[in-house]
Amino acid sequence: MKKLILPNEILMGEVERLLSQGTAVTIMTKGNSMLPFIVGERDSVVLKPYGKPQVGDIALAHLDSGAYVLHRIIAISDTGMVTLMGDGNICGTEHCHSERLCGKTVTVIRRGRRYNPDSRSWMIMWRIWRQMLPVRRYLLAIYRRFLIKFI
Amino acid sequence: MRIKKGFVLRELAGEKIVSGEGLEQLDFNKIVSLNTSAAYIWEHISNREFDLETMVDLLLDRYDIERSVALQDARRLLDNWISIGLVEE
């Protein structure tokens, strides 16, 4: 199967438009910022239009800078400001208003298998992962070195 | 035969692509990219009944080629569209 690479801003603009009209969209992910939950260039995600955002969601956000990120919501303020952080990042967060959230990840397709990121097991894994932030750097190194081939 | 309902041709980043928009899902891992002549044929048959002959005639209208060449190209294209499920009888 031929791979068609589209410039990110064009593809993501199209994805945002489709989501805003209610279409669920499946895209291949890029980058390592959501390791170990999503492996870029290997795993795909199914996005759905946003309902009510919640901490723990993996959201596609259109940041004020124009960039799009697919990161985890780690906080939501009373005024609707959302803080996002990649599971595979050691530091660094993004901020945007909840209106700038384009889509919520409802399925992660890892090596052909479909997973629900809202499932109990995924949420437990994420809570543990969040607690491990101080040693995340080392866990990521182990994952990338040894485990990425298997899980 | 006809193009199945829900498939739309549009231009994205200079590429002509066919996707299943209109259906509730769009999988960007499963889009079909068409070259210029395939896109030209698609545009002329997407809303009506057609067969291999229709495609051949369209090619002959636009390109200065032998009928046998047009037939071969149209056959290959149609076989491809059928095999990936874009066309229904």
Q: B36-67 pLDDT, tens per residue?
A: 999 999 999 988 999 999 999 999 999 999 99
Q: What is the mean pLDDT of residues B3-12?
A: 84
Cβ–Cβ < 8 Å for B86, B7: yes
Q: How far does CA A21 lie from the centroid of its chain?
A: 21
Q: What is the mean pLDDT of chain B?
A: 89
| Structural domains counted in chain B | 1
| Separation in Å, CA of B17 to nearest CA in chain A | 10
Among B residues 18-77, those touching chain A with beta carbons less than 8 Å apart: 21, 24-31, 33
What is the DSSP code (8-state) at residue B4?
A: P
| Separation in Å, CA of A10 to nearest CA in chain B | 7
Q: What is the pLDDT of residue A72?
A: 98
ipTM of the complex: 0.81
Q: Determine the residue of chain A that is closest to B34 in CA distance.
A: A4
| Structural domains counted in chain A | 1
Using a CB-CB cut-off of 8 Å, the residues of chain B touching A27 are 28-29
d(CA A6, CA A107): 22
Q: What is the pLDDT of residue B51?
A: 95
Q: Which domain holds residue A59?
A: 8-147
A44: domain CATH number is 2.10.109.10
* Cα angle value B88/B49/B43 (rounded, 5°): 95
